[in-house]
Structure 1
Amino acid sequence: MSNSNPYKTKAYIALTTTSIIWGTTWVGSKAAVHFGMPGLEVSFVRQFIAGSIFLAYFLFSGESLPTLKQFGWLLLLAICNFVFANGLSTWSLKYVSSGLAALIGALYPLCVVIIELLFFNKRNYNLLTLAGLLVGIAGVLFVLYENAFHEQPVGYGFGILLGLIGMVSWSFGTILIARNKYQMNPYYAMGWQMFLASFMIFGLAKTVQVPLLGIHEIPLQAWLAIAYLIGVGSLITFIAFVYTVRYLPPALSSVYAYINPLVAMLAGYWVLGEPLSVNLFFGAIITLAGVYLVNFSLKK
């Protein structure tokens, strides 16, 4: 028993790290956009550098290249988890606050339930699941209704749409990961997904004609934000998250999902001066309560 205590203590530290830092990455992405860097460019630069670091480490450690079948799954997951989920969510930060973007992203458990009901005919949900769905949707509607009475920047609705598409894509990616085992080291697989996604995000930016900055045109502040996203958000926090999952029960290790949006709202208010009203914070609490009820009903 005594041997497990140090690991559990470190796991709680890792959980705290994950909960706080992943919330601040929304603000880091928003900061890069705020300093003039297009959201899609922020995303593909981040994924290219972080993915290259992961791949370099594992390839030099002797990992073999993925099989053709594995490569196909990696490509599909890269599209769901990074091209649309991360790319579009980062793009949305041009139009919405980091707190609201994080709150939309936190809706993915609700979306997973709806997708499985509609496309996979999964019917083992109960009244608590339905109650959670209704509460979560009510919380989001409350936030959007409250925002409707304040002047919003041009493109606010488009930003909401981008965030929702990104969240739905992450939900599909979550379902694909749960239903298919491609027998790879998760860090190594993540590196491939990031690396592949970076090129597709670049292609998406060119396709939708997002004006990109040259390397020499990117402001120092934006580079510092990207360095934070890569070093702290993509590398350190993923290591902390896996450590958390390994040594803490799933119900406890998933607590980060309820803390991230609140951290993003507070950090956005303190760092970037984003608006934070009582109604917005109250709506976020309602939404996250619905997400908790859904997760709790599924675990039961």
Structure 2
Amino acid sequence: MKNQKFLPYAALVIVSIFWGTTYLASHIGVEYMHGMLLAGTRQTIAGVILLAVFLIKGYKIPGRAMLSKLFIIGVIMLCGSNGLMTWAMKFVPSGLGAIVAATVPIWITIFSYFMISKSKISAKVIIGMIIGFVGVVGIFYDYLQDILKPEFQFGLVLVFLGCLFWAFGSVLTAKWALKINAMYSAAYQMFFSGIVMVIISYLMGESYATSSFTMELWTSLLYLVFIGSLLSFSAYVYALNTLPPSQVSIYAYVNPVVAIILGYIILDEHLNWIVGTSCLVTLAGVYLVNSAYSKQKKLQHESAKLAIESEH
């Protein structure tokens, strides 16, 4: 009984801390391999391992329609988000990437409005959005000297696109509500997206070079596969299925803090009062959006439930 209460929170701690460390691991890895190829290799290996586990357990391969949707979601969320975000780590600090990525709940709210329910956006959500974006602008103030650099600009574009793809994929996943085991679904998404990213990398002229496989790259890749994908994602799915979504969302506020601290200690990245304050402002805005959106969804669910009961 104690384990049943403890394990979900242990899983949440794993997600909160270890997902924040993947920005550092990616930042190290892209020094030796193109970000898209690194992400593709990571997801392919993790997908193959996870698929093997489920197939050995006797799970059947889904039908063509289900596989098509898993392919689409995987490409949008992992190629479009993880691939671009990993690539961006070559051009922007890992802490900055993590803070910008923390704005994903804001983008999810916007996509949800247009794709699922065009219900009225509350004042709390709008205020939260404004506060969140003000925080991001504050962070960029500390990087004014870098903003004029083309590579830095390109990295920022990749980060923002990564946020949009993850948000869009998350809302699409909720809209489709696929009837399949969440972890089994993730295995196909990782495998499909990994293969696509490797193909894209080769089309871009990137390929595996024996000389690039240094101890640093091996460490980064293995960490991303086993800690970033298999352990942390499994923990995320488990937490999501055993705890209220509002509690699970805590990881989004811890990840950037972990990434900033590690970036400062190991990569000598910026960490001053401007970065710290702006990070807190951004997370405060995201919290307002997230809490307001969760409350709105709960009210919609209760209203729908009452409507169904009244019909009977």
Give TM class, smaller chain. over 0.9
Q: 1:231 aligns with which of 219, 226, 229?
A: 226
Deviates more, 1:84-93 or 1:175-184: 175-184
CA offset at residue 123 of structure 1? 2.6
Q: Percent identity?
A: 33
Query: Are 1:297 and 2:292 an aligned pair?
Result: yes
CA offset at residue 121 of structure 1? 6.2
Call closer, same or farther: CA 1:115–1:151 in 2, change over 3 Å: closer
CA offset at residue 146 of structure 1? 2.4
Deviates more, 1:180-189 or 1:214-223: 214-223
Call closer, same or farther: CA 1:240–1:296 in 2, change over 3 Å: same
Query: Are 1:56 and 2:58 an aligned pair?
Result: no
Residue of structure 2 in register with 1:40 after alignment: 36
Residue of structure 2 in register with 1:242 after alignment: 237
Residue of structure 2 in register with 1:109 after alignment: 105
Residue of structure 1 in register with 2:263 after alignment: 268
Deviates more, 1:69-78 or 1:121-130: 121-130
Query: Are 1:6 and 2:3 an aligned pair?
Result: yes
Q: Which amino acid aligns with 2:231?
A: I
CA offset at residue 118 of structure 1? 4.6
Query: Are 1:278 and 2:273 an aligned pair?
Result: yes
TM-score normalised to structure 1 length: 0.92
- Measured in 2, the distance between the counterparts of 1:215 and 1:75 equals 30
Q: Is the 8 A contact 1:12 1:244 kept in 2?
A: yes
Q: Is the 8 A contact 2:16 2:251 kept in 1?
A: yes
Q: Which amino acid aligns with 1:52?
A: V
Q: Is the 8 A contact 1:7 1:247 kept in 2?
A: no
Q: Which amino acid aligns with 1:193?
A: Q
Q: Is the 8 A contact 2:82 2:162 kept in 1?
A: yes
Residue of structure 2 in register with 1:191 after alignment: 187
Residue of structure 2 in register with 1:24 after alignment: 21
Aligned length in residues: 295
Deviation track 1:58-88 (CA, whole Å, cap 9, x = no partner) reads 1121111121110110111011111110000
Map 1:59-78 → 2, pairs under 5 A: 59-78=55-74
CA offset at residue 158 of structure 1? 0.3
- Measured in 1, the distance between the counterparts of 2:43 and 2:235 equals 19
Structure 1: stretches of 5+ with no match in the other structure: none
Other structure's SS at 2:30 match: helix
Q: Is the 8 A contact 1:92 1:160 kept in 2?
A: yes
Other structure's SS at 1:155 match: helix
- Measured in 2, the distance between the counterparts of 1:92 and 1:177 equals 25
Q: Is the 8 A contact 2:40 2:195 kept in 1?
A: yes
Q: 1:257 aligns with which of 241, 247, 252?
A: 252
Residue of structure 2 in register with 1:145 after alignment: 141
CA RMSD after TM alignment = 1.8
Deviation track 1:252-275 (CA, whole Å, cap 9, x = no partner) reads 121011110111111111122222
- Measured in 2, the distance between the counterparts of 1:152 and 1:270 equals 26
- Measured in 2, the distance between the counterparts of 1:92 and 1:206 equals 18
Q: Is the 8 A contact 2:39 2:86 kept in 1?
A: yes
- Measured in 2, the distance between the counterparts of 1:299 and 1:119 equals 17
Residue of structure 2 in register with 1:90 after alignment: 86
TM-score normalised to structure 2 length: 0.89
- Measured in 2, the distance between the counterparts of 1:71 and 1:151 equals 41
CA offset at residue 132 of structure 1? 0.5
- Measured in 2, the distance between the counterparts of 1:106 and 1:291 equals 7
Deviation track 1:217-242 (CA, whole Å, cap 9, x = no partner) reads 32121111111111111111122223
CA offset at residue 207 of structure 1? 3.3
